[in-house]
Chains A and B, each alone.
Chain A
């Protein structure tokens, strides 16, 4: 161990001075640049004492000070503790701690017995299993394994004292100040206190640090473990009264929006990753439905990520394809299946997406890349258990999501059940890449359930989510949700539209939202232009859309009709649709026409007589466009025609030569 492996008694003895100087002096001391002179004013009235007790040494100029040679080890220890004082929290903090204080071989030894090696040591060291292993009867063996190859052999008395110390520490809600420790450890023989601390720190049971606010040296268990030991038992999720609600198949809306944008076949993508070019991406992202702020913060998904997912799904469903050459004109083109999908009802489109995703059989991508096709994974039947977890929710009632998750991860966790029934080794080869501690298995099951919610149910309107009192996110399963989970054969999708009087279509073609309605946004985005976000203020409120000719043309290109647009506007608007708006929409849709572009060969003749001979020679494959110009409809027929013309005494001039 690099820093903390020392005799803690002298450290403790010198600590008296530390606890008696002021906090600014402590801060000045731990931030004193090593070997560099510092103005002595930083230490105020503590300067004399620190000089006297050889914590500091004075430079010859009598104005600056440095760390005293005899206090170097003390200073480096305090600095190391200070470095971690506010960074002992997450798993990655523990990884940093391990990297700072332990060599690779020490870490390997600490991780011994774990299939996944030192990579998962942070997760393991912060687990209850780690604590219980040390506190178990065969602690001598446990410690021996973790100190192997180090030459360290703590005596059974030291191990026992360390066990007492750690057992005592499990009752502390906060780390204990080091200077109070001997008084708190009445059950530990005084001569064993310091070796016990040294051992507990060495085997990752105790972690020394400086307290944030006053830099007092304190020691305690890993904070996440303390929190876990002191938490109350989980209770079934409570039913709450919902506040602002949300239910919308926004994934389907995102796919629709991308298809509409790609309708004219000019939406280019990058050659190396098939992502949209950034300008086009930004433009389409602006058009995507705005989720309520609380929801967006909760799911942590940006619009560009949503767009990528929509694009991937469209590709998987063969609704889009890519045409052109990478780096030149590679672009998204809707396939023949895209138009029927766009023209389908909301239910129809959701059904197709659900069929593609098949949530009742497939795991969501929840950060763990285990192979769902692995028979050992399949044997666990996790999708079935996840479906059951949601199935058990009370129909129509909003449950607090965090409570639901905790209840299921701790009390109804198929992975933990497996371990309990068949032993810790039962999952070793299934989830070989991480340590199968209770915490990790709870986390994995939580991620799977969250994946079901965020990847399947929420984006397809399978749940209605709401923010309840205390900003708690709650949810309830909908009819669509039951269909998604395979619990119902069919469904109807009628999310609540915005309450009346809250969306207004104005005669100047703007659509003003007086209260947020993601559903209405989704419906309008198909044929209205979303105003730039800079023109908006509050999320989901204000003049969000403008009906423009360009937007109507774009909607028409994707198969929308004037009747659909007008029906939508009448449905959502709290006021009668302005007559001028209706007129213009009908007019713009009415202006849309389809044309066919095809390649043809034009034959220019000297006179009308020659043109007539060319037509005659071609059979029915050519026709007169003007008196002297003949169109050969299929360019492939050109060689045959040339032969026939030659036979008829009509020759083809080389390009550029006048006829």
Chain B
């Protein structure tokens, strides 16, 4: 008979998934240990699911977690016996890490194998062999510095990740410190987890640190961690972000919270092509090419200066051409920042090989518990279709159906009610159809940002929103990514398909930053009842529940009590 320890929180399954019971008295201890070698797959309210993969084990090995520790954790916290084959496979995965090692020697970069059969296997592999140079001895191969990244990629793909101990070039020195008081005069200091993340990344400047990924939930201050790493490295830095708005926010933060001056920070994007000791560029510009088959004209930026650190913001969105360039930049320190390691294209192994292993992963529940991010309540409100639209909806084709349901005019009244309900809270109204947003903006007299809004105007409105001069802002899809709206407490999504997992997380991330008072955020989704929109909403519901958010469903008629006074939201 198998053992059963009900007070333990883990169930280790044969398919390498680990179920974690949140209500167990030993949950927190188990979670902290488990997170070192397993990836969180989903975290609905009661039972979370983690998965042990070769990558997660190698990440753990890179962080010096031993197989014995992994096995001991699984056995110590498991309700049932841990399947023997899982332990065996953990041992097997772990045994592969570090058997190949990249080192710097006087004669150059060397790949060293732990034993001869492995050296033979590696040098006979058709993907690895072309990347190896002269064989120094039975166990060692010279490596061209330019092949360092591609070799690491190839080795990960064949299941023998190389431990990169070849170190980094120092880059141009750049004195940079974090301020104790921000430019705006507010006191500033690193939070404990931010400080720890930066220290783990830097590893005292040794070759054991200097490259890797820091995973923090939306709103946890990844930009600040990036700046702390810059301060640790003290070297010229290239920051890559997802878009211009995000770039500007990086620049704003750098000026606000570090000792850097404006002339030390350059912006490299569609409208400005400056290069400075700290350069903030976008993935868009890096992957720009005039024709489909032309070269990427801006990739030269990577060689423009002697960068000591490259920061990849939202690393899970890193485009393929940047991966290619990153492969040749292995001598530079690299920091990836993200809220999730999950990539829609499944290239997590490339992130591991080229940017580096996961260095830090702080669960959002921990930060929520500490008050560093807001508690979010997701509410789906179902609005009946007006009688006049039911027949047009019934006979429309699939695409039209979605639009008719999305643009349900009765949603406007509901938006009004929600806005009234959160009278004092900064609110974003997010939509997919510009006409609908324009109508809502007109009705509520609130400003609107769409794709056609100029960058200047956007920045101006964002600034006013931040300053509290604009309390309600309507935005189309442009606000999805890396838009730092620190005081948004309420988001109302009036239309839109369920996008990728990241899109949904980012949308929610807009409202997760800590709030004064109850530190609570609200994410409303308005859905036309019994329409295709409800099907999309179900997928969103599943996703958000699996992320651990509280999800409520309400009918429009249940919201009648939400009205609590009128006010004009446009203070401009």
With A514-B11, A536-B13, A542-B13: A509-B1 Cβ-Cβ less than 8 Å: no
Binary contact track B1-14/A, C-beta < 8 Å → 1, others 0: 10010100001111
Cβ–Cβ contact A509 & B13, under 8 A: no
**A-B contacts at CB below 8 angstroms, number:** 85
**Interface positions of B from 520 to 566, Cβ below 8 Å from A:** 530, 538, 541-542, 545-546, 550-553
Cβ–Cβ contact B15 & A537, under 8 A: yes
Cβ–Cβ contact A507 & B45, under 8 A: yes
Cβ–Cβ contact B542 & A542, under 8 A: no
Cβ–Cβ contact A512 & B552, under 8 A: no
Contact of A506 among B6, B45, B79, B553 (CB under 8 A): B45
Contact of B21 among A508, A514, A537, A583 (CB under 8 A): A514
Binary contact track A454-486/B, C-beta < 8 Å → 1, others 0: 000000000000010001000000000000000
Contact of A538 among B45, B80, B542, B550 (CB under 8 A): B80
Does B83 touch A at the CB level, under 8 Å?
A: yes
Q: Which residues of B contact A543 (CB under 8 A)?
A: 19, 47, 49
Cβ–Cβ contact A507 & B15, under 8 A: no
Cβ–Cβ contact A507 & B19, under 8 A: no
Q: How far is the CB of B554 from chain A (nearest CB, A)?
A: 9
**Interface positions of A from 535 to 551, Cβ below 8 Å from B:** 535-538, 541-543, 549
Cβ–Cβ contact A534 & B15, under 8 A: yes
- Indicate the member of A502, A507, A536, A575 with the most B CB atoms within 10 Å: A507
Cβ–Cβ contact A537 & B13, under 8 A: yes
List the 10 closest A-B pairs by CB distance, nearest first.
A537-B13, A507-B545, A537-B14, A508-B545, A583-B553, A506-B44, A508-B44, A504-B46, A512-B47, A508-B546
Contact of A512 among B19, B546, B553 (CB under 8 A): B19
Does B42 touch A at the CB level, under 8 Å?
A: yes
Chain A residues at the B interface, C-beta cutoff of 8 Å = 243-244, 467, 471, 501-502, 504, 506-510, 512, 514-515, 534-538, 541-543, 549, 575, 578-580, 583-584, 591
Contact of B1 among A243, A515, A534 (CB under 8 A): A243
Cβ–Cβ contact A467 & B19, under 8 A: no
Cβ–Cβ contact B13 & A580, under 8 A: no
Cβ–Cβ contact B47 & A538, under 8 A: no
Task: Give the CA-CA distance A541 to B6 in the complex, in Å.
Answer: 13
Binary contact track B466-490/A, C-beta < 8 Å → 1, others 0: 0000000000000000000000000
Contact of B552 among A243, A501, A509, A579 (CB under 8 A): A579
Query: Apart from A507-B44, A512-B47, A579-B552, what are 19 other A-B pairs with CB-CB below 8 Å?
Result: A501-B6, A506-B46, A507-B551, A512-B46, A514-B11, A514-B19, A514-B79, A515-B79, A535-B15, A537-B12, A537-B83, A538-B13, A538-B80, A542-B17, A542-B19, A543-B47, A575-B45, A575-B46, A591-B530
Q: How far is the CB of A423 from chain B (nearest CB, A)?
A: 48
With A507-B44, A509-B542, A514-B21: A541-B530 Cβ-Cβ less than 8 Å: no
Task: Give the CA-CA distance A578 to B45 in the complex, in Å.
Answer: 9
With A243-B1, A542-B11: A580-B47 Cβ-Cβ less than 8 Å: no
Task: Give the CA-CA distance A512 to B42 in the complex, in Å.
Answer: 13
Task: Give the CA-CA distance A317 to B13 in the complex, in Å.
Answer: 41
With A507-B44, A541-B11: A579-B553 Cβ-Cβ less than 8 Å: yes
Cβ–Cβ contact A506 & B545, under 8 A: yes
Q: Which residues of B contact A509 (CB under 8 A)?
A: 542, 545
Q: How far is the CB of A512 from chain B (nearest CB, A)?
A: 5
Cβ–Cβ contact B44 & A538, under 8 A: no
With A506-B45, A508-B542, A515-B4: A580-B553 Cβ-Cβ less than 8 Å: yes
Q: Which residues of B contact A584 (CB under 8 A)?
A: 538, 553
Cβ–Cβ contact A471 & B1, under 8 A: yes
By beta carbon, the residue of chain B nearest A510 is B44
Binary contact track B43-78/A, C-beta < 8 Å → 1, others 0: 011110100000000000000000000000000000
Cβ–Cβ contact B11 & A538, under 8 A: yes
Q: Which residues of B contact A536 (CB under 8 A)?
A: 13, 15
Contact of A537 among B17, B44, B46, B553 (CB under 8 A): B17
Q: Which residues of A contact B530 (CB under 8 A)?
A: 591
By beta carbon, the residue of chain A nearest B15 is A537
Cβ–Cβ contact B14 & A506, under 8 A: no
Task: Give the CA-CA distance A506 to B23 in the complex, in Å.
Answer: 13
By beta carbon, the residue of chain A nearest B11 is A541
Q: Which residues of A contact B49 (CB under 8 A)?
A: 543
Q: How far is the CB of B556 from chain A (nearest CB, A)?
A: 14
By beta carbon, the residue of chain A nearest B379 is A580
Q: Which residues of A contact B17 (CB under 8 A)?
A: 537, 542
Cβ–Cβ contact A508 & B13, under 8 A: no
A–B complex contacts, Cβ < 8 Å, 7 sampled = A467-B1, A504-B47, A506-B46, A534-B15, A536-B15, A538-B11, A580-B553
Q: How far is the CB of A589 from chain B (nearest CB, A)?
A: 14
Contact of B551 among A534, A549, A580 (CB under 8 A): A580
Task: Give the CA-CA distance A471 to B2 in the complex, in Å.
Answer: 11
Q: Which residues of A contact B79 (CB under 8 A)?
A: 514-515
Task: Give the CA-CA distance A583 to B46 in the complex, in Å.
Answer: 19
Task: Give the CA-CA distance A575 to B552 in the complex, in Å.
Answer: 17
Q: How far is the CB of B66 from chain A (nearest CB, A)?
A: 24
Q: How far is the CB of B546 from chain A (nearest CB, A)?
A: 5
- Indicate the member of A509, A514, A536 with the most B CB atoms within 10 Å: A514
Cβ–Cβ contact A538 & B1, under 8 A: no
Task: Give the CA-CA distance A512 to B48 in the complex, in Å.
Answer: 10
Q: Which residues of A contact B545 (CB under 8 A)?
A: 506-509, 578, 580
Q: Which residues of B contact A542 (CB under 8 A)?
A: 11, 13, 17, 19
Cβ–Cβ contact B1 & A541, under 8 A: no
**Interface positions of B from 71 to 99, Cβ below 8 Å from A:** 79-80, 83
Q: Which residues of B contact A471 (CB under 8 A)?
A: 1
Task: Give the CA-CA distance A536 to B12 in the complex, in Å.
Answer: 11
Cβ–Cβ contact B44 & A580, under 8 A: no
By beta carbon, the residue of chain A nearest B46 is A504
Task: Give the CA-CA distance A314 to B1 in the complex, in Å.
Answer: 36
**Interface positions of B from 415 to 448, Cβ below 8 Å from A:** none
Task: Give the CA-CA distance A549 to B530 in the complex, in Å.
Answer: 13
Task: Give the CA-CA distance A243 to B4 in the complex, in Å.
Answer: 12
Task: Give the CA-CA distance A467 to B542 in the complex, in Å.
Answer: 39
